[in-house]
Structure formats: structure tokens, C-alpha cells
Chains A and B, each alone.
Chain A
Amino acid sequence: MDIDRKTLRDMLQLYQGIELSDEEFDLIEPELQSYFDIVEKMKELDLSDVPSGRLLRASEGGGI
């Protein structure tokens, strides 16, 4: 992990008001590592010209 643990813990404290012990942070790490792995894998792709998968619809069914 390139970002040090203190920074990540500070972020959680700042954004969620949650303070974690080192032991607790260990429990987040598998999920975080899977995220970092995915991010690394996506670097293989040139996505600059790919439209988003987000569904976009305009006033179908009249809307509300």
C-alpha cells in the first residue's frame, strides 16, 4: 500500500468520525487491498474514450 496507514486512519476520522485501532485497521485491509488490486488491473485499459455504464434515460414514461 503506497498511502501510509496514518493518513488512511485520519481520513476515516475526518470523514466518518471513526477512530480505528491498528488491529481494526488490519480487518479493513483485505477489502482495501482488493480495491487497490482492481485499480492496478484497470491501468491495463485505455478508458479515456469509453462512455460510462451509468444508465441514462430522458423522461421515459412521462416521468414524475
Chain B
Amino acid sequence: MATNELLDTTIADLAPLIRDRKVSPVEVTEAALARAEELQPKLNSFITILNDRAMNEAKEQERAIASGNYLGPLQGIPIGIKDNIATAGIRTTLGSKVLSDHVPDEDAHVVTLCRQAGAIVIGKENLEEFAAGATSNNPHYGAVHNPWKLDRIPGGSSGGGGANVAAGVTFASLGTDLGGSVRIPGSLCGVVGLKQTFGRVSQRGLMVTSFNGDHIGPMTRSTRDAALVLQAIAGYDPLDPSTVPVPVDDYSDGLGKGLAGLKMGIPSDHFFDHLGPDVAIAVERAIAALEELGVTPVKVALPTMKYSAALRIPGMADGIVTHEPYLSSSRQEYGPDTLYRTLAGQFVLGRDYSKAMKVQRLIKEEFARVLQKVDFLAAPTCPVVAPPIGAKNVSMGGKEFSTRGPGAGYLARNTSPSNSTGLPAVSVPCGHNDEDLPIGLQIIGRPFDETTILRVAHTYEGVSPAQGRRPSLN
């Protein structure tokens, strides 16, 4: 297999070749960097490409393997890091002009863990300004383009990572997910996007916009790869009080066990409202496929989800506090979507914040009750396929839904609930529409039961009509 073709494989395929010294981390990294440079004019998926650093890291890993120091499946694997995750000595802009020269002193904890596992960081990936939206249409660094159709958004806010994984530039990208920002690009770019349980992965080194539900999670080309990356980054971090000392499972262990005996909850509230017809059909087929794989479907009610819009309130209030140091001094350096969306947070009353947290409690309890009856929930990840870059609204069923800027929340309506409940959720590709745009199925599980959702996603992946499809990038 030519080195360039290796870029279209998975970590699970490539790792044994690197381990057995049939493929060198140097040649893989060289090929990944070449593809990154080649596609950057089309995708605009990076803010910074780390040519020299990445090559030095690759040489280091090659020497380590040659001297018998094999670290595991991430060793020598090119990955990307969203540009709101700190990297020591490397500019970390958060997609903002305000922090365009920001160079952190330390790596984020997840970056340290990836480096310890031998992964090669080839670049810092483009995103929505301050990760505050779902389009990755960045006013300062340019819009990220969807590899499946370049005039479409990749989703966001981790759009650069989704585009890179889909296009075979990186094998995995670490994104961040406060309302769906890993799973939405997963869905719209046709890759796997995993948001594990809140507290499972350290947020230290992420510029958190809201402490109520931000997560760092991987995007990969397969569920098995998501399990491998999660394995590397999961665990208690004594310096991050949001992490929980729950033992870390072997996430690859359950992948081959099949699905017989599992119960699948299909929500009758919220998750199947306002869907594009192509999404509805693809997800129905995916649910039918899961039944054929041995899963028992159970209709479940989540009536409190009609108040789920309240879950946005803490994020609004947290947002204004996060931006407070920059707003008065650097207001002119903000793009309009982020600025005007953020400023509305000034008006959130403490009374309403408190009420929203109580609604959050009710919704969490409701999910907890439902997940005692079923093993997981299945639902669409994103209600529509990727909208055009620049579109502010999507028309659906005679209604207009805002997709970017102040008042927007449509693209995240199915993903953001799991940020507030903290439940693990993974988006797995489940088909394409007539325009070849990808559609994602979301699997939501019990707290700290990533093993089950990965097992479900992996087994489904084997029969998914999206399996093996790649963007042509023409």
C-alpha cells in the first residue's frame, strides 16, 4: 500500500504496521503534512500546521520504536488538536483575533496524554470563533469547508477536526463539545464523534466557555479508533475538579460482543421533531438495522424535554463571564456572531439561572429513569445535513430555524441535552442523502458506560450504508 493510501485507513489498521516497523511514523507524518498542505486551500481546516515540530516528533517516535520502546496504538499516528486546547509553545488562538498571539506555557492534560502515547500533533485546527457556534464559519481565519461538498459547513465548533478526519488528513482530532461541537461535525462530515461522560476526561487546558457541560472528545474514522483515543485520554485528573475517580474501562474490549439482549430506547419526545426528511429516513433505517442486529426497541417518553431550551441559560451566563476580560478592551476584535450572542448573557438573572439548573435536574432524572429500562437511546445526531456556508437559517416544515449567531440552536438541538445531563453520546455515520451529504446516528448511554455505546456504534458501523465511503474532494 502506498504511503498516501495509508492516510485513508484507520488507527487500528495502521498501528500494527507501525509497531512491526513495516511503516515508519516519519513517512506517515510526511504524507499527512503533505495532504494537509494540499487540502488547506480547499478545506481551511487548520489555523496552524506544525511541519517541523511534527516531523521532529515523528523522528523521535521512530527512534523509540526502533529501540524497542513501543508505546501502543497511538504511537506515530498523526492527529490534530482544536485550537482552543492549549499546546505548550504553540499558538492557541481559540479561533479569535483577541487571542491571536496567545502561546500557552503548558500542554492541556489531554495533549500531554496523547504525546505520552506517542501521537504526532500535526496542527491546530480551525473552529468557530471561541467555539461559540455550530458552523465553523470563522470571521478571522476563514470558514472551514466540508470535504463532502466544499460549499457546505462541516458543523462546529470543531469543524477543522471533522473536516481533517473525513479527508484523511489526520487519523484523529481532539475537539471540544459544549453543545454538540464534536458530534455535529461528526454527523455532518461523516465521521465518528464521541462525547464521553462529563468527568471522564480532563478539561484542564481547555478554555472552557461554560463549566456546565464542556467536554474534550475525539473524532475518528471508526468507532474502534474512538475507543483507542478515549483509552489514552480518559481518567481522573487531580488538577481538574470536574473529573471523577471512576475506574477506566477497556473500551476496545466489548466491541466484538454483538448486541443481542440489549434494549434500545427510542425517544418519543424532542429528538425526532423538526428533522429533514433525508435524516428521518436514514435514522429510521439505522434503527431497523439495530433491531436486525438483535436489539429490542422500546419507545421511551422524555416529556420534560419540552423545557430543554432552559439548558442554554447557564451557558449564556457563563459565556459573558468567560469573555469579560476581553469584551470592554477588545470588542472591535470580535466577530458579530460571537459578540452579540455573548452580550445577551449579561441580562440573565440569577433567579433564572437557578431555575434552569433545576430544570436540568428534572431532565437528568428523567434520562436516569429511562436508562434504567433501556441500555441506550438512539436518535438523530443533527436534524439536517450540512447547510451551505453563510446560511443563517434552515427552512423545515414551513418553519425557519436559525443556524448561526444570536438565537441559533437548531443544529445542536439533539446534541446539547447530553452536555447538560453529562451522559455519554457518540455520533456514527448512518448514510448519505441524494447530494452525498453524510447523516449521523446518535447513541446515548448511561453515565460512564462508554463501553456500551461504543459497542453499539461499532456493531452498527459494520452494516451502515456509510461504511467505507469517503469524500472525493473534487
Interface residues in chain A, defined as those with a beta carbon under 8 Å from any beta carbon in chain B: 8, 11-12, 15-18, 20, 24, 27-35, 37-39, 41-42, 44-45, 47, 50-55, 57, 60-64
Contacts and interface: CB of A to CB of B under 8 A. Distances in A.
Given A53-B420, A61-B236, A38 B357 contact: no
A35 B360 contact: no
Contacts of A50: 358, 361-362
Contacts of A53: 357-364, 420
B245 A17 contact: no
Contacts of B199: 55
Contacts of A31: 316, 340-341, 344, 406-407
B356 A64 contact: no
A56 to B, nearest CB: 11
Nearest to A52: B357
Given A17-B328, A18-B327, A47-B358, A28 B309 contact: no
Contacts of B340: 24, 27-28, 31
Contacts of B348: 35
Contacts of B347: 8, 11, 32, 35
Contacts of B241: 63-64
Contact of A34 (B244, B309, B328, B343): B309
Specify the main secondary structure of chain A where it touches its partner: helix
Given A53-B357, A54-B357, 20 more contacts: A11-B347, A12-B343, A12-B346, A15-B346, A16-B328, A17-B328, A18-B343, A27-B336, A30-B405, A35-B312, A38-B352, A39-B352, A41-B309, A42-B359, A52-B354, A53-B364, A53-B420, A55-B242, A55-B422, A64-B241
A18 B407 contact: no
Interface in B295-328: 306-307, 309-310, 312-313, 316, 320, 324, 327-328
Interface in B364-423: 364, 402, 405-409, 420, 422
Interface in B238-260: 238-239, 241-242, 244-245
A38 B310 contact: yes
A18 B360 CA distance: 32
B238 A42 contact: no
27 contacts: A11-B347, A16-B324, A18-B327, A18-B343, A30-B402, A30-B408, A33-B407, A34-B309, A35-B312, A35-B313, A38-B310, A38-B313, A38-B352, A39-B352, A39-B355, A41-B310, A45-B359, A47-B355, A47-B359, A52-B357, A52-B360, A53-B358, A53-B362, A53-B363, A55-B242, A61-B236, A61-B245
Interface in B207-239: 212, 236, 238-239
B309 A27 contact: no
Given A18-B328, A53-B420, A60-B244, A38 B406 contact: no
Nearest to A17: B328
List of 8 A-B pairs having minimum Cβ-Cβ separation, nearest first = A30-B407, A53-B360, A61-B245, A17-B328, A31-B406, A31-B344, A53-B361, A27-B340
